[in-house]
Structure 1
């Protein structure tokens, strides 16, 4: 595996690429996204350490989305040849990779439901719940708080709302006692209340624990 440090806001792979390797996020936050013809960005997923965001390129030879960093990232590149060999020799590893892509699909379906059916307040609450659980699963949550480098513009690009609207929603959530957001630190004082606001059921994440509070 080749480990590379990549600066923030840099593409790792782009739509139309035919890569010969996949990447493992070792540190930092990345996202998969597409750009529309008029230049708007739709973020499809945020990726945390431990994710292999472009694992599908092992079998789908032309990428249909881009993958880029949101923060400085450490990324491990693994050749498709090595991945193929691992899957052929170790059935359990092949099953783990398959499970990874299935969970990616489950997250995508949940995001589609949010964008199509939930109001902006609920969308933001749902996203915060999801990210807290995913970050906790990789040891990046301390009690009820975590480092939160995702910007309001990036939240808007993920949820299909404007940055101004995201700002208003976050202010309302602070006033309602759902979140405390100071600089790049997010704290959730009442997890159950945030889950209720976000219509959040963590089943789709397929994690062993549904608890975020310490």
Structure 2
């Protein structure tokens, strides 16, 4: 079996696991906390490419490349395990079921990126925000994150803006629209989906791109 680090590493808020241009290292596995993939443009603006939750494995095959083409940063205090790539290769060679699960997870990542591209290109602002909320809510439920009864969603309006290609002011306006519609509220890092059917309808949400059995919002 592959071995993770005996003492998983603790990361503080906004600390990078790895940066664009770095040579790929071990495989990162999120144990606690959230992280994001991102790129910094020449003008200094940031585009967030994906969110990582507990259980997510980062960049299984990136070791085939000479350098990272994006950065990964924690957006909460986090606990992260690492597995050396030689160990990961060995476990996937020896255990076909684990290899299959890892490849499916990678396909889900690719499907999620296609969905984000579709949002950026064709969904309206309100559809874009609603769709991301549906996706994150369902992913969080699927990995067993706690709801009390709301989901603790550690995303500031600035993070959402950098994810959705919008300004923070515009995100604030859209969140107010969704609150007034009775579909959902997002405040102080807590997501409450008040009317699941309405939010799903606004988003035009179809979870098939997640390629896994998940529990519906309702």
TM-score by length of 1: 0.95
SS at the partner of 1:88?
Answer: helix
Residues 1:180 and 2:185 are matched in the alignment: yes
Counterpart position of 2:155:
150
Give distance in 1, aligned partners of 2:49 and 2:74: 13
The alignment status of 1:31 with 2:21, answered yes or no, reads no
Q: Does 1:20 align with 2:11?
A: no
- 2:72 matched residue in structure 1: 67
Instruction: Decide whether the 8 Å contact of 2:141 with 2:215 is kept in 1.
Output: no
The one-character-per-residue Cα deviations of 1:111-155 (angstroms, maximum 9, x if unpaired) are: 000000011111000000000000001111538621011010000
Counterpart position of 2:13: 8
CA distance in 2, matches of 1:159, 1:184: 17
Matched-pair contact (CA < 8 Å) for 1:202–1:210: no
Match of 1:168 among 161, 167, 173: 173
Aligned runs of 1:17-166 on 2, under 5 Å? 17-142=22-147, 145-166=150-171
Q: Distance in 2 between matches of 1:210 and 1:139?
A: 11
Q: Is the CA contact 2:175–2:185 (under 8 Å) kept in the aligned structure 1?
A: no
SS in 2 for 1:38: coil
Q: In 2, Cα distance between the equivalents of 1:13 and 1:96?
A: 24
Q: 1:10-35: CA deviations, max 9, x gaps?
A: 11011111123010011111000111
Q: Cα offset for 1:103?
A: 0.8
Total equivalences in the alignment? 213
Gap runs ≥5 in structure 2: none
What is the TM-score with the length of structure 2 in the denominator?
A: 0.93
Does structure 2 conserve the Cα–Cα contact (< 8 Å) formed by 1:144 and 1:189?
no
Q: State whether residues 47 and 165 of structure 2, in contact with CA within 8 Å, keep that contact through their aligned partners in structure 1.
A: yes
